[in-house]
Structure 1
Amino acid sequence: MPVTTHSIDFEASTTDNVIHLKVSGKLTKEDYELFIPELEQWIERHGKIRILFEMSDFHGWSVSAGWEDTKLAFKHFSDIERIALVGETAWEHGMAIFCKPFTAGSVKYFDHSQRDEAMRWITG
């Protein structure tokens, strides 16, 4: 079921454990309050999940959203198998390196031109 906030589109696959997050603008605490319950239901349903995190005109997180993201990462450290980050800028590429200590899963960055490859990797 798709959930949309002003900065996040959340789509969960109906056939597998893949969640697709499309983000733009700046993420806020309110964004997390809306999509975390959906994410946690998906974890309950599937156990380990995979996330395709697609960024377009993304400007990062507010301070409170960054804290929510950190709490989420620690709470679900072992629940995420893979994270594919799809972006368009050098700092987004750096996020893949920054994210690795916050999850037991594999994290890989893909440029927007490699979106199909990211989809194959996240579902493979």
Structure 2
Amino acid sequence: MMQIMETKEENLIAAKISGKISKKDVERFHPLIHNTIEKGQKVDFYFELEDFDGYELEGLWEDLKVDTTHLSDYGKMAFVGDKKWQEWAAKATDFFTDSEVRFFHLQEKKKAKEWISQ
């Protein structure tokens, strides 16, 4: 489940993510991405991963479609979590994109928010 969080930056999409990401979750984010792109800005992301179990199959497929369409539209990405595999996933995202991607541990939320807002 993805719960959208309020932000002060108009190009920042922030969410708390728990459980599994569904196709419906990804579909809720897609218009937010387009709204930022239409303003001529790169989209930054802040994700808090608590009790995150990955994707439902349809959610993964939908996320891959959105990401391949918009990879050049993404700016910075902050992943905040507590599992080693989440850190590896952030590193893989950094490797496969032109975005600046960083992983922060849950106790570093403040640091992550400061970094993504710079």
Normalising by the residue count of structure 1, what TM-score does the alignment of the two structures yield?
0.85
Match of 1:92 in 2: 86
Deviation at 1:116, TM superposition (A): 0.6
Question: What is the rounded CA distance, in whole Å, between the counterparts of 1:107 and 1:15 in structure 2?
Answer: 18
Asked if structure 1 preserves the Cα contact closer than 8 Å seen for 2:10 and 2:36, the reply is no
Change (3 A) 1:109 1:102: same
Is the alpha carbon distance of 1:11 and 1:45 closer, same or farther for their aligned partners in structure 2, counting shifts above 3 Å?
farther
The answer as to 2:5 corresponding to 1:11 is: yes
Contact 2:33 2:43 in 1 (8 A): no
Aligned match of 1:34? 28
Q: Is the 8 A contact 1:10 1:22 kept in 2?
A: yes
The answer as to whether partners of 2:2 and 2:25 remain within 8 angstroms in 1 is: yes
Question: How far 1:98 moved relative to its partner?
Answer: 1.8
Cα-Cα RMSD: 1.6
CA contact 1:56–1:87 (8 Å) conserved in 2: yes
Q: 3-state DSSP class of the match of 2:75? A: strand
**5 Å matches for 1:9-88?**
9-11=3-5, 13-88=7-82
Distance 1:54 1:46, change over 3 A: farther
Question: How far 1:101 sits from its partner (Å)?
Answer: 4.0
Tell me which residue corresponds to 1:118: 112
Contact 1:53–1:85, Cα closer than 8 Å, also in 2: yes
Runs of 5+ consecutive residues of structure 2 not aligned to the other structure: none
Mark the runs of 5 or more structure 1 residues left unpaired by the alignment.
1-6
Runs of 4+ in 1 over 6 A off after TM superposition: none
- Distance in 2, matches of 1:43 and 1:12, equals 18
Q: Secondary structure at the match of 1:76?
A: helix
| Aligned residue-pair number | 118
Deviation at 1:16, TM superposition (A): 3.6
